[in-house]
A and B are shown apart, each in its own frame.
Chain A
Amino acid sequence: EVQLVESGGGLVQPGGSLRLSCAASGFIFSSYWMTWVRQAPGKGLEWVANIKHDGSERYYVDSVKGRFTIARDNAKNSLYLQLNSLRAEDTAVYYCATNHYYAFETWGQGTMVTVSS
């Protein structure tokens, strides 16, 4: 069974940092582009970042460029998102997802990040 499990969310103060993880199983992780998508409470979906299957290319939405870093460890079947200089507007559920024809096929259950003092 294809499965993605996010972890690492929590409450953090403005300006703080957090590292999210996404553990993948049931598929050949190293063959897939991977994605982070977020959803603020009561709001719509926002694409955050993508990473190529070998990690050689990374893309970000403008609002997180220079603050967030997407990374992967194919040996550990894991995807990461390092969140730095966090702002209140970064408060959201963060989902990881596999890519399929530039769409997001399999999703995790999400991990909540709350930025508040």
Chain B
Amino acid sequence: DIQMTQSPSTLSASVGDRVTITCRASQSISPYLAWYQQKPGKAPKLLIYKTSNLQNGVPSRFSGSGSGTDFTLTISSLQPDDFATYYCQQYNSYSWTFGQGTKVEIK
């Protein structure tokens, strides 16, 4: 099975900061890599699908990139609403796997 490792596990940042979260796969994966935002007590929200496609309604400050085993989620200018936990998720051969999550905290 493909393992997904996110880094960092926790990130402290300020409003206006540029934030980058990394997701590394244990082997080369398809471009079907997605990113989610989850707030406490709420269901996850899809932000990015197929590595770099912005989901409808998601602000353009979110972007995704990567290929092979290394993928990134970037928030260009962190806003108060962005403090949350972020997960990557990959698809390969009828198996789906999430990363362990990255919590973005207020610095």
Chain A residues within 8 Å of B, Cβ to Cβ: 35, 37, 44-47, 50, 57, 59, 61-62, 95, 100-105, 107-110
Contacts and interface: CB of A to CB of B under 8 A. Distances in A.
Interface size class of B (residues with CB under 8 A): 20 to 34
**What DSSP secondary structure best describes chain A's contact surface?**
strand
B98 A103 contact: no
A47 B98 contact: yes
B55 A47 contact: no
Given A44-B87, A47-B97, A100 B49 contact: yes
Interface of B: 1, 30, 32, 34, 36, 38, 43-46, 49-50, 53, 55, 87, 89, 91, 94-101
Given A47-B97, A102-B91, 8 more contacts: A45-B87, A46-B98, A47-B95, A50-B94, A57-B94, A95-B43, A101-B49, A102-B32
Contacts of B36: 45, 104
A57 B49 CA distance: 23
A50 B101 CA distance: 22
Contacts of B101: 44-45
16 contacts: A37-B44, A44-B98, A44-B101, A45-B87, A57-B94, A59-B95, A100-B46, A100-B49, A102-B49, A102-B91, A103-B32, A104-B34, A104-B36, A104-B44, A107-B45, A108-B43
B46 A103 contact: yes
Nearest to A98: B46
A103 B89 contact: yes
Given A44-B98, A47-B97, A47-B98, A104 B46 contact: yes
